[in-house]
Amino acid sequence: MTRLYLALGTVFGFILSRSGAADYDFIQGMFLFSEFQLYGIIAVAVLVTAPGIWLIKQRGRTILGRPVSIDLKPLHRGNVAGGVMFGIGWSIAGMCPGPILVNIGEGKIYALAAFAGALVGAGLLGSLYPTLQRPFALPPLKVGTGEG
């Protein structure tokens, strides 16, 4: 299975690299409303994925016959606060999490700094979780904020 995940990640990374989703200028163009590209990509991805997920849930089993169960993400104040922080970070770096890794692969040296920042940021969130839990009404530690 490891090879399957590696292969799917590679395909995903190639598409992100060649579509503009991992390109600083296309991300700024999206936020400046001067480029349609990223809006088109996200809209098509969601509109094709939605009926696909519905069909897979109807089927109820994976190809290998194991049950399909999707863990839903919890609702909490971190959705807004964290979302706003992420939006600021996405604008500054011009990369969201997947594209940080894609840009490293492409040879963009500065993407290593974004990666280091992201690990420090995730490390801080995890270390401060018990403190942040009450102000942001976060779920119990073993549930977390939501996987993905």
| Residues 40 to 99 in contact with other proteins, rule: CB under 8 A | 40-50, 52-53, 56, 62-64, 66-76, 78-98
Q: How many residues are recorded in the chain?
A: 148
- Minimum distance from CB of 133 to other proteins (Å)? 10
The amino acid at 104? I
**Site residues (CB under 8 A) for other proteins, limited to 94-133:** 94-98, 100-111, 113-127, 129, 132
CB of 83 to other proteins, least distance (A): 3
Nearest to 141 by CA among 132, 131, 129, 127: 129
In the complex with other proteins, the residue whose CB is nearer, 2 or 134, is: 2
Does residue 137 bind other proteins (CB under 8 A)? no
Which residues from 7-26 bind other proteins, rule CB under 8 A? 7-26
What is the smallest separation between the CB atom of 67 and other proteins, expressed in angstroms? 7
Measure the CA–CA gap between 4 and 11, rounded to whole angstroms. 11
- Closest Cα partner for 35 from 22, 25, 49? 25
* The two three-digit tokens of residue 103, written as one number: 């840009």
Size of the site for other proteins (CB under 8 A): 126
| CA–CA separation, 143 and 132 (whole Å) | 14
